[in-house]
Structure 1
Amino acid sequence: MTENHERDAGSEPTESDFVDYGIDERPPLGESILLGVQHYLTMVGANIAVPLILAGALGMPEPLWPRFIGTFFVVSGIATLAQTTLGNRYPIVQGAPFSMLAPALAVVGVVQATNPTGMADWRAALLGLQGAIIVASLFEVAIGYFGLLGRLRRYLSPVVIGPTIALIGLSLFDAPQVTAATQNWPLLFVTLALITLFSQYLDSRSRVFALFPVLLGVVAAYALAVALSLAGVYAPGTSGYVDVTGIFEAPAVVVPYPLQWGMPQFEASLAIGMLAGVGASIIESFGDYHAVARLSGVGAPSEKRIDHGIGMEGLMNVFSGLMGASGSTSYSENIGAIGLTGVASRYVVQVGAVVMVGVGFVGYFGAAIRSIPDPVVGGLYVAMFGQIVAVGLSNLKYVDLDSSRNIYVIGVSLFAGLAVPAYMGNVAAAAPDGMGGAAFFRQSLANVAVVGPVLGTKLVADTVYVIGGTGMAVGGLVAFVLDNTIEGTRAERGLEAWAEIAEDEGDFRTAFERFGADDTDPVKGD
């Protein structure tokens, strides 16, 4: 280990005062490339899960999948460079958010059910999604750079954040790659068993297993599926079959660019619904900033650093919407890698981001990702979504779990976050042929006595339908209201524990403030 790592002025070392490379340290370039790739490999599974789910829900033509997947990696790399350079400057990777996936799927369903554009359903839905993300993300930009989250921080306790993040994973338990009636369960179990073996049983045997359990598990299961496909055990069209010829038929180079799918379509109700996902992403990042600070051996983030991080995430979400991806947020997998490797170098993460941008232009890469069979993806989902649930619940270690009010808030918010979306799903299933779930729900609200004329309007009904179908939005709203109206002390809610490990407001300089700082500036590295 290296000694005397630089720290932000005024910060106190935390429980993770053992990093090999501190935030401002720069390993040699060759080593940084390998370490940077390692950082990205820990989150590659999650960053491919979102485009795979979204492309399938859209019904996007398969020849376009490589460019669609490549777009997500280009956006991830550029967003990471922006965050680590101009944003909060933490060594934190940005990638496709699960928190925005559920509302994105709801938006896709609404647009495809009512498509008035005359264009293909998948394109109309994607353009509607792009418009919703762009508009909702502008609110995130304002929340960040106007300092609103910093002011609201006193109201966002771990009692609110824990259930909200947990519901990100719980809301996706029924993904078709997991629960399809034609599921190849042996292959799914092999994938999950391999990931579990490498991450939980062999992680202490070798750093390779500790660093790359997801990658090793997926690659091994994928190799098995390829072998069984070539041997004729898995026939074309069956679950688990891999068409390797499709990889080489893909273009060698794909060039993602802004507005590549067309001009985004803007509709108020869809944008309001997407605000639920943006809000959940903000809360998730709020927790991630505290985690990365703790694992990097520096003080918990100040209000100023939090606000600039959220503002930059908003800008990168707008960029993602223009590119035709589904948003960008901080990745917990990358934070976990810091704890495993002791590598908290901002420079290392930036080098890895450059590599990821380059990979996004390789068509074969996107095609290879597309060829991963559903059972392998399903095993990955079980591990990754389960991990997200655990990350959310881990925030509860700061609160008093002997408190009946905390137990009540957490339990009710989790239950509501599962029950209300299930109700919305039942509404959609009960809709008559030719009428989408959103239209049927709107019709049912219009028949409500007295307030029906208001509730039954397209804007109100579609907004309620999208938000109600998003577990983390429902749970987060319920937790927020209950936690801030039921009497409870700051210590009981976990707010004092967070305040004790926070850095001073003067410890963070914005990108503009750093320009012109002289060599005697005690925080020039930040």
Structure 2
Amino acid sequence: MTRDEPAADDSEGTDGIEYGIDDRPPLDESVVLGVQHYLTMVGANIAVPLILADAMGMPDHITVQFVGTFFVVSGVATLAQTTFGNRYPIVQGAPFSMLAPALAIIGAVQTGAVGGADWQVILVQLQGAIIVAATVQVALGYFGLVGKLRRFLSPVVIAPTIALIGLALFDVTQITSDNQNWWLLGLTLGLILLFSQYLDVKRKAFRLYPVILAIAIAWLVAAGLSAGNVLVDGQPGYVPLEDVTDASLILPIYPFQWGTPEITAAFVVGMIAGVLASIVESIGDYYAVANLTGSAAPSEKRINHGIGMEGLMNVFSGIMGTGGSTSYSENIGAIGLTGVASRYVVQVGAIVMLIAGFVGYFGQLIVTIPNPIIGGLFIAMFGQIVAVGLSNLKHVDLDSSRNVFIVGFAMFVGLAIPEYMANFDTAGFRATVDLAAAVAPLVEFDPIVGTVVAGWIEVTAQAVVDTIFIVGSTGMAVGGLAALFLDNTIPGTREERGLAEWERLTEDESDFETFWERWVGTGREK
């Protein structure tokens, strides 16, 4: 098959896709669709800065600017990824995978590790760790090291990895809070199901805008109940409308706004573990998008450029003073619900969010979306992601006990190990391992030399323990690594593992053109 011939027979199929990756809907429609894509990730992109701000003791008026900065970084990172990176229609936003090491850094600074517990002192340490760790990600991507992992990936590995993206988030507080407003959550979820699954054939608007319609209606109901004092401050679902008018019109967001980043080696090592977990998640996201849109599976070249660009945008996020940037699984779920996979739509939405990030009223308005509404949205989208992951199993032999064991084992440990890790914070896990006791015999044997050697061993071991804790706390990293090991060590034929079919569906390296090749022309003469 030549590159000019249609590849429909070799794709996953595009049933339910209203706008494909290269489609460009009208601008007015693209603005609404782009904002809808961003609304699907609002909960997470707000949750991360709010969690960090609370942990650092950041003042409320600074927190609004902090949240706005996350949206500015998200807009820039999304434009960079969709234009210069892997060019998939994936929104970039604040990563939960880097939240664990960030909280560990905050705790260490507050306990006197580097002196001072002021939020600005903490934040410049966090920025320095992210910037240095991100350079490792840039190297792994653009030197081609990440893409080489693709040859070890089969549908048996990809299926549980993607499924765990959704399954690992079943217990987010927006869903499982003990004082949940189930009526509001149920209204939001019911509206999404009504518009996307039952009424989608009646009107195009229901098919294209189920998320934004559901959020808008549910928010108006919650706002009306709040204005009528049916819902009061402190109750789940309450909308603090008065907070919107108290915000500043324009937020002063600029590079190094919190101060010059500072670098502490121990913090960098912990953040690298978060970056590695983010890479695993992103690779799963790339395959999920390709699967949903009927595209060929990503080539090694596309994966490398995607991860490399994520690294560059993590450097940028450190410069701007946020908690990192990565591909967003919520956005992938939105593609499945709406059928809108247009790169152009995501880029338009990124521009809107980039501009809106500087507007204080916008940030405050977004913050007023109650958790029950976000929870209803999460249930619909995360369920979609789980299904997308499991759909990869159609390429493998499910009568094979080998395959069934690997998938089941990977999914189980991907849920069980993070649940165990949830019993600890970073310091608590270190205490459980008790490194000091492990190296104590060296000191007893030779108090002078032993102390020096034991110190180096303890520092190195501590970095390893922190890495185990962070990776072990990330469900899809645990399940994906387990599946990767078992699938490549337990004997199985290529047909049995789905590799034969997988290769037929994977794009050729020449099918993906970098920005340089497309616009400068180095690849056009071939």
Q: CA deviation at 1:103?
A: 4.2
Q: Which of 36, 50, 54 is the equivalent residue of 1:55?
A: 50
Q: Which of 467, 470, 491 is the equivalent residue of 2:471?
A: 467
Residue 355 (structure 2) pairs with residue 351 (structure 1): no
Opposite residue 468 of structure 1, the aligned amino acid is G
Q: Which of 421, 424, 428 is the equivalent residue of 1:424?
A: 421
Q: CA deviation at 1:244?
A: 0.6
1:95-117 per-residue CA deviation (whole Å, 9 max, x = no partner) reads 215xx304413531463266224
Q: CA deviation at 1:450?
A: 8.4
Residue 432 (structure 2) pairs with residue 437 (structure 1): no
Q: Which of 160, 167, 190 is the equivalent residue of 2:164?
A: 167
Report matched runs for 1:61-140 at 5 Å. Answer: 61-90=59-88, 92-96=89-93, 100-109=95-104, 111-112=106-107, 115=110, 116=112, 117-120=114-117, 126-140=123-137
Flag the 1:108–1:185 CA change in 2: closer, same or farther, 3 A. Answer: same
Q: CA deviation at 1:256?
A: 2.5
Partner of 1:403: 400
Find the aligned partners of 1:197 and 1:85 in 2 and give their Cα distance.
34
Secondary structure at the residue paired with 2:229?
coil
Q: CA deviation at 1:246?
A: 0.6
Flag the 1:177–1:306 CA change in 2: closer, same or farther, 3 A. Answer: closer
Comparing 363-372 with 73-82, greater Cα deviation is found at 73-82
Q: Which of 491, 502, 513 is the equivalent residue of 1:487?
A: 491
Q: CA deviation at 1:225?
A: 1.6
Flag the 1:69–1:397 CA change in 2: closer, same or farther, 3 A. Answer: farther
Q: CA deviation at 1:250?
A: 0.5
Partner of 2:306: 309
Partner of 2:357: 360
Partner of 1:4: none
Flag the 1:337–1:389 CA change in 2: closer, same or farther, 3 A. Answer: closer
Find the aligned partners of 1:337 and 1:178 in 2 and give their Cα distance.
18
**Aligned length in residues:** 504
Flag the 1:510–1:392 CA change in 2: closer, same or farther, 3 A. Answer: same
Flag the 1:412–1:226 CA change in 2: closer, same or farther, 3 A. Answer: same
Same amino acid, percent of matched pairs = 53
Partner of 2:33: 38
Q: Which of 368, 383, 387 is the equivalent residue of 1:386?
A: 383
Flag the 1:344–1:194 CA change in 2: closer, same or farther, 3 A. Answer: closer
Report matched runs for 1:269-288 at 5 Å. Answer: 270-288=267-285
1:276-326 per-residue CA deviation (whole Å, 9 max, x = no partner) reads 543444344434445555666664443223322222222122212322333
Comparing 388-397 with 408-417, greater Cα deviation is found at 388-397
Flag the 1:17–1:413 CA change in 2: closer, same or farther, 3 A. Answer: closer
Find the aligned partners of 1:291 and 1:378 in 2 and give their Cα distance.
22
Q: CA deviation at 1:252?
A: 0.9
Find the aligned partners of 1:183 and 1:336 in 2 and give their Cα distance.
23
1:402-460 per-residue CA deviation (whole Å, 9 max, x = no partner) reads 222222222222222222222222245xxxxxx94244334378459989975784323
Q: CA deviation at 1:401?
A: 2.4
Find the aligned partners of 1:148 and 1:354 in 2 and give their Cα distance.
32
Please report the TM-score for the alignment, with normalisation by the length of structure 2: 0.83
Secondary structure at the residue paired with 2:248?
coil
Is the contact between residue 160 and residue 483 of structure 1 (CA under 8 Å) also seen in structure 2?
A: yes
Flag the 1:378–1:263 CA change in 2: closer, same or farther, 3 A. Answer: farther
Partner of 1:196: 193
Find the aligned partners of 1:17 and 1:177 in 2 and give their Cα distance.
31
Is the contact between residue 222 and residue 238 of structure 2 (CA under 8 Å) also seen in structure 1?
A: yes
Residue 423 (structure 2) pairs with residue 413 (structure 1): no
Is the contact between residue 36 and residue 351 of structure 1 (CA under 8 Å) also seen in structure 2?
A: yes
Partner of 2:145: 148
Opposite residue 178 of structure 1, the aligned amino acid is I
1:149-201 per-residue CA deviation (whole Å, 9 max, x = no partner) reads 33221112232233233333333333333333333333233222222322222
Q: CA deviation at 1:89?
A: 3.3
Flag the 1:505–1:103 CA change in 2: closer, same or farther, 3 A. Answer: closer
Find the aligned partners of 1:126 and 1:397 in 2 and give their Cα distance.
46
Flag the 1:277–1:304 CA change in 2: closer, same or farther, 3 A. Answer: same
Where does structure 1 lack aligned partners over 5 or more consecutive residues?
1-6, 429-434
Partner of 1:432: none
Secondary structure at the residue paired with 1:42?
helix
Q: Which of 499, 514, 517 is the equivalent residue of 1:513?
A: 517
Is the contact between residue 330 and residue 381 of structure 2 (CA under 8 Å) also seen in structure 1?
A: no
Is the contact between residue 337 and residue 384 of structure 2 (CA under 8 Å) also seen in structure 1?
A: no
Opposite residue 140 of structure 2, the aligned amino acid is I
Opposite residue 464 of structure 1, the aligned amino acid is I
Secondary structure at the residue paired with 2:491?
coil
Measured on the aligned residues, the alpha-carbon RMSD in Å equals 3.5
Opposite residue 74 of structure 2, the aligned amino acid is S
